[in-house]
Chains A and B, each alone.
Chain A
Amino acid sequence: MNGTGRWQGTLILIVALIVLWQILYWIVGDIALRSPWQTLSFTVKLLQKPSFWPHLIETGKAFAAALFFAVALGLAIGMTLGLKRIAGDVFEPMLVALYSIPKVTLYPILLLTFGLGISAKIAFGALHGFIPVSLFTINAVRNVRPIFLKTGRVLRLNRFTMITRIVFPAAMPEIFSGLRIGFSLTMIGTVLGEMFASQKGLGYLLMNAIGLHNVDIIMAITFMLVVFAASMSGLLLAIDRRLHRRV
């Protein structure tokens, strides 16, 4: 599909989802749902409230820090395991296993280790995000064409130059796919961490609103999270496709 076709498809999809939402609202009614328009106007109102911003900033800070650790750790692990065949074979299935377990059960351990606060959230977000980054990096590094590596060896490049000048640029498109998924999972992890045992952040507001039966807040925050996650993922996906096409 070409670029404009994809844009049209996305537009149709968004319109269809909004229509579906409106129909659902007509069926369920005001007790448990808000219409798209009501949600949008409440979201705008929420964004103008000064008391809301500390929560948004808290989540943003936790997410940014978690993403930093997820990417740094993921790249380091991926590069190490990708370049060392045996180490990769030993550890890769362990990373895959870690990916598939319900990591939420590990959250209490992080809470006990880091204490109740932003560091536990950051650790939990990073725990989600570093796995895809490392898995994709391992594969990317392994798939670098041997001729590149041989050339590097002939030029007697040291390990650091080898990674920065040859391995990383050659593996970039694939690594970027890992970063894209890592971005999404880090966000999911951060929000999930806030939904349990937290006193600040969007996840906390979301859980707090259940007790207050505040449908407006629930709809507005869910809406914000979904819009942010979907648009960022769409943007990263577009860059990802571009990088892959260039090669």
Chain B
Amino acid sequence: MKRTGILRILVIAGLIGLLEVLCRVGVIDNFTMPPPSRIAYDLWRILITGKFNAAIAKTFSNAALAFVLAVTIGIAAGVIIHAMRPLREALDPFFATYYAIPVLAFYPLLIILFGLGDAPKIIIAFMLGVVAIIVNTLNGLDRVPRVLLKTARMARLNPIATAIKITLPSATPYLLTGIKFAVAYSLIGIIGSEFVMSTNGIGFEIAFAYNNFDNATMYPLILLVMIVSISINTGLGLWEKMLLSRRGLR
């Protein structure tokens, strides 16, 4: 492993150790935060007993559904928008300011529209993710080398074969960037809306535990969310780096 990697692990271990000491000594009292070792142990127990399996399954299935919707609709929309120049120019300012808008502010409206169920959460997560997919699809399609498209025309490939053999492989690294964001955003959207107002899911359980001063449940669940999202993102990030470096893009 490289030196920076080792240093990073040392820094993280040092921070966790510091927190542990501060909690044990009593600088941070246990009503605010239990020691990290205790949180890890509680998380282990929660996973073994399966107490929150239903909530965990709910959150991840909703996030997965929102993610799949964002990717399929996003890529389709990206392809259509890429083909229509004026539409793209009109939508340009929309994409530029989209992520400045607090999407979660639409959640109350969606609850009124669809009722307090899975639909508003999935729509919020979808809304967060889809634009990242569209923008990166456009970016990827822009960067398909002209010469490859000309070669395809010379080989008389039909449009479908061109898409599968030329366009898709060239655009893949950029699509993956979009996908990486969509994974993060769908989790953020689902857990965020569960947290703010919902009847189930990990976010709801965290909020519920907070309201009941139940630190033995709240902290382990927060840790679980952090571990899952950081490992998914790191994994996708490594894959993206691999793809890009294989093409000499980075």
A positions within 8 Å CB-CB of B: 1, 5-6, 9-10, 12-13, 16, 28, 32-33, 86, 89-91, 93-94, 96-97, 100-109, 111-113, 181, 183-184, 187-188, 191-192, 195-197, 203, 206-207, 209-210, 213, 215, 218-219, 221-222, 225-226, 229-230, 232-234, 237
Contacts and interface: CB of A to CB of B under 8 A. Distances in A.
Interface residues of B, number: 55
B229 A218 contact: no
B93 A9 contact: yes
B97 A206 contact: no
Contact of B7 (A1, A13, A90, A229): A90
Interface stretch (B73-81, B101-109, B133-141, B156-164): B101-109
Contacts of A215: 109, 112
A192 B192 contact: yes
Given A101-B225, A102-B229, A112 B105 contact: no
A32 B106 CA distance: 12
B184 interface: yes
A105 B210 contact: no
B4 A101 contact: no
B226 A12 contact: no
B216 interface: no
Contact of A112 (B32, B108, B203): B32
B187 interface: yes
* B-side interface mostly: helix
21 contacts: A5-B89, A9-B90, A13-B94, A32-B109, A33-B109, A33-B113, A90-B7, A100-B230, A101-B225, A102-B191, A104-B191, A104-B195, A105-B221, A108-B210, A109-B222, A112-B33, A192-B196, A218-B109, A219-B109, A226-B102, A233-B96
A203 B8 CA distance: 37
Contact of A184 (B33, B100, B196): B100
B108 A206 contact: yes
Contacts of B230: 97, 100-101
A10 B100 CA distance: 16
B9 to A, nearest CB: 10
A62 to B, nearest CB: 14
